[in-house]
Structure 1
Amino acid sequence: MAELSKANTRRPGHLRLEGEVVGLSFRMQARLEAQFTELAAQCGLSAVQAKVLLQLPAGGATTMQALAGQLQYDASNLTGVVDRLESMGAVRRQPHPEDRRVKRVELTDDGRRMREAFWEKLTNRSGPLGRLNSRELISLRALLATAMRDPAG
């Protein structure tokens, strides 16, 4: 069965279909990003600031370097984003207990409230996927999970 599936992926028709799906995926991602950006703005945040708030652990701290890696963002550019969040009272930076050259970032109580307010807006509003019924969403979720599965195991 795996051999048959592998053989199908080499056919020109399959590759063309895969290309169409990739194109649609990029268009959907653009729509989702636009919605994310709009909702962040409604909360007084940039999209990157909202992503930082969502990425920070609820009850702990993470290093700037780890945060940059998780967001796939350049650490030097992240400094300005965290500066702005700190000036808003959403995060605080502290030296790492074992290496004072390393800065750790953590949410403040205000930052947790901001994150919760943004998450509420994000998850309680129908977006581009709102045209799909529950059965279709379940199927799409399963297909995406299969496509994202690590082929190595």
Structure 2
Amino acid sequence: MAALTSLMRAHQLALSLVESVLKPLGITFARYEVLMLLVFSQRGTLPMSVIGSRLQVHATSVTNAVDRLERADLVRRLPHPSDRRATLVEITDSGRRLADDATDRLNAEVFSQPGLSPRDARGLVEILTRFRQDAGDF
């Protein structure tokens, strides 16, 4: 119990730090994750269902994030070319620029100094990787 409680608290602390870096850019971590999925996709587009599956969130959460990103002109919705039931989400040029800026800021202000020695960081990554794999995560 202590291990999972500590893990959950560490997650809260890390997320709070990440959110504080993203807030001046007008996005949350959830929206940043959507943008980054689109950046890393081959064409800059993904079906909404794939976004939900990859982020392991409910369709309602994807819709909410995409709504906000679309209002900010960071993504746009497109009809799926072969499935009338599906909707694609495409990142815009301004969405790419914001994702790049957010990544630069996160790398400089959060990820470059995780508060652990390199050895401890490697050990933690190994433990968490096993934990995720055992849970069926990628």
Superimposed CA distance per residue, residues 104-138 of structure 1 (whole angstroms, 9 cap, x where no aligned partner): 001111111111111111122246x7331112112
Distance 1:102 1:144 in 2: 34
TM-score where L is the length of structure 2: 0.82
Matched residue, 1:97: 81
Q: Give 1:118's aligned amino acid.
A: A
Distance 1:148 1:49 in 2: 22
Matched residue, 1:34: 16
Over the aligned positions, Cα root-mean-square deviation in angstroms equals 2.2
Identity of aligned residues (%): 28
Secondary structure of 1:65's aligned partner: helix
Q: Give 2:20's aligned amino acid.
A: E
Secondary structure of 1:101's aligned partner: coil
Distance 1:110 1:138, change over 3 A: same
How do 1:22-101 and structure 2 match up within 5 A?
Answer: 22-58=4-40, 59-60=42-43, 61-101=45-85
- Residue 99 of structure 2 corresponds to residue 122 of structure 1: no
C-alpha contact (below 8 Å) 1:50/1:115 kept by paired residues: yes
C-alpha contact (below 8 Å) 2:17/2:110 kept by paired residues: no
Distance 1:23 1:119, change over 3 A: same
Distance 1:134 1:64, change over 3 A: same
What is the total number of aligned residue pairs between the two structures? 133
89-98 or 54-63, which moves further after superposition? 54-63
Distance 1:80 1:145 in 2: 29
Q: Tell me which stretches of 4 or more aligned residues in structure 1 moved more than 6 Å.
A: none
Distance 1:123 1:55 in 2: 17
Distance 1:142 1:92, change over 3 A: same
C-alpha contact (below 8 Å) 1:89/1:111 kept by paired residues: yes
Matched residue, 1:147: 131
Distance 1:33 1:43 in 2: 16
C-alpha contact (below 8 Å) 2:39/2:96 kept by paired residues: no
TM-score where L is the length of structure 1: 0.75
Structure 2, unpaired ranges of 5+: none
39-48 or 143-152, which moves further after superposition? 143-152
